[in-house]
Structure 1
Amino acid sequence: MKGGRFWALTGFGIDIASKMETPSLSVRFRATLSPKISGDHMFELVSIGPARLKVNGEEIVDNWTSQEPGDAFFSYGSAPRRSSINLEEGKDYLLEIEYKWQGRFPAVQIGMLPPDEEDLMESAVSLAKASDAVVLVVGTNSDWETEGNDRSELGLPGDQDSLINKVVEANPNTVVVINTGSPISMPWIKDTKAILQSWFPGQEFGNALYDILFGETNPSGKLPTTFPMQLNDTPAFGHYPGEKLQMDYLEDIYVGYRWYEKKQIKPLFPFGFGLSYTNFKYSNLRIIPPKKEDSAIAFSFSVSNTGDTQGKEIVQCYVSVQNSSIERAPKELKRFSKVDLNTGESKELIFELNERDLSYWNEDEKSWSVEPAEYKIFVGGSSEETPLEASAWLG
């Protein structure tokens, strides 16, 4: 095993363990480690149950004597334990991990971070200064984002925020590409000319990125979540992760964008937000007679491409119940559609809403009910940008 960076995620003995009435499994892993560079190497150990890591017989990381609760392995794993040891280039070291199963299922994760061969930050800044433009890709991976638990902070891991600041200062003509699966904070946003959220696109990432940056494809994606300004703006702040694997959704019905509107919190980017290389104009919102038998409200409107390139817009319709007799969100997404428009082209769209779209769960009657009220229709390009408004009355 060459001594570069590695992270190893291992679950083992599950088939055998499933046949056991009580946990009865111990494992010892052995490998030869050959460092590529001399210096302090950081080791990390996470496990469900006791585990320890040894180098040449010396215990380096003790997660055996005790474990602190952590988020790994669906929150059944321990918090990470870390320790460093000085290793020499060219020497072979015996790496051992001893593990005993005590917990929900057997699992252990090890990691190693060697010293940098050079100052990578300085190298990146020097390269940025010598370049016409910079495409800077930052983000997370499965060490920070996975199923079973959420991130505890919005910042990018490591020194990535510092890297962005220094690279942008060295070359203002920088595109920051964010490769994450969830929102992050952006303390550098005012100094950055362009930001692209890529959402873990997979093996065709490079080709897709090229097509967007060089204009082969006009981006048309919209955010499926709200990007907050700061962690304590989020709906789950203050009650995540809860206690004993139980978390109450104390935001109640105000999930996602509903929370920010209800609390009048300005987000960094609102739900449904997304830019294009062209511009779109909304107009002519009208309430019209429904054509479908089960429709309660129907309306039409126009979308025009006012820019100089072909593009696609994701049109969004939100509904707000005015003077409701029950507690409801300020407005809720009810319809959306993607429309493809050439330069100068306009299209009329028709949306129809049925009673189920407008109903709420009536706890007294144990059924969905439609409230007699004024229903205000909002149409636009995001939850925050809805230039068209109209009203319809039911009941």
Structure 2
Amino acid sequence: MTTTRPTGSALSRRRLLGTAATAAGLAAAAACSPAAPAPTAPPVPASPSPSPAPSGTRMVPARPLPTPDTVSTEFAPIVGAPLAAGWNDVPPDATGWRALAAQSAVDPDLPALIAKLGVSVKKDVIAGVPVFQISPPQVPAQRRGQVLMHLHGGGYVLYPGEVGAGEGMIMSGLEGYEVVSVDYRMPPDHPFPAALDDALAVWKALSAQTDPRRMGVFGASAGGGLTLALMLRARDEGVALPAAIAPGTPWVDLTGDGDSRNANEFVDNVLVSDTGWVGAAAPLYAAGHDLRDPLVSPVFGDFRGLPPAILTSGTRDLLLSDTVRAHRKLRQAGVPATLQVFEAMSHAQFLEPGVPETTEAFGEIAAFFDQHLGG
């Protein structure tokens, strides 16, 4: 694979799992995204396959995919952008994965994002694990004394360092929370259960300092899956649980099952397809463990007794089914759970700053935390 750093809109979309593009990045996305050509004739149904499709399989004709007018003006260029460059660059070996992770850790837009949000970011170590302490310009009265722990996304392989704390910065800046973002260890050098061990160590330390009834845990993509895996392990080990959690588009099934893995393939312009790097990241992370182990793929676990949860996804998200299945499993286990799904949104695009959908998504998450975290 190439390790040349992508530029413009492609890099902004790949950053979505850890941080997000600034307004300048969004402008670049709009400039770099060619308008979809208008069809000269109605789409023609695909010709019958020369051999019968497997039973229960429906053949879908190729067709244009327009940007709907039901999204905000600010979000429309992101919806209509091309597929993320490099989505199918799969590193051939451990050296390649390390290079890809190092590449993902560089984000020249990050200082502007921090300045725009007005947050302070301090590197620290808790229980031997590197973290970032993120403080807002002002903490609302009802959120004083509350702490949120953040687990970043990136397929368990990308966004080490400060760039991975981008989602935590957005939460802190928009909603006024004190946030601790965990810079957990990752493959190829530290596969499962290193990330989970780090998350649990930090959670134990934080919950020993602050009443867990005044705490929440959140994260998107792999961070959402890790949030749920942490809840399963903490519950089973008798560790106090937070008052609420917010897994965003959680990667809860590393086996690749789920309807949207097929229905939204090449519709999602961020992850694109399981045939790309994200699919290869699953066995790299599991490192020989059963992909159906609930601590690897939480959707196969028992959700009884987990904290109330709010889950976020989009109609074009490759992991929409992961999100929906996790939500249904929480409900079936008697856990209060809310699901918010955004129009035309691909994977984790609710992390784009400066668009109404992001403000709304984080506002809903904060309102949910307000209902469950003690004052």
Structure having the higher Rg: 1
Same fold? TM cut 0.5? no
Which has a greater percent of strand?
A: 1
Looking at secondary structure, tell me which structure has more helix per residue.
Answer: 2
Quickly name the TM-score band, shorter chain normalised.
under 0.3
TM-score under structure 1 length normalisation: 0.24
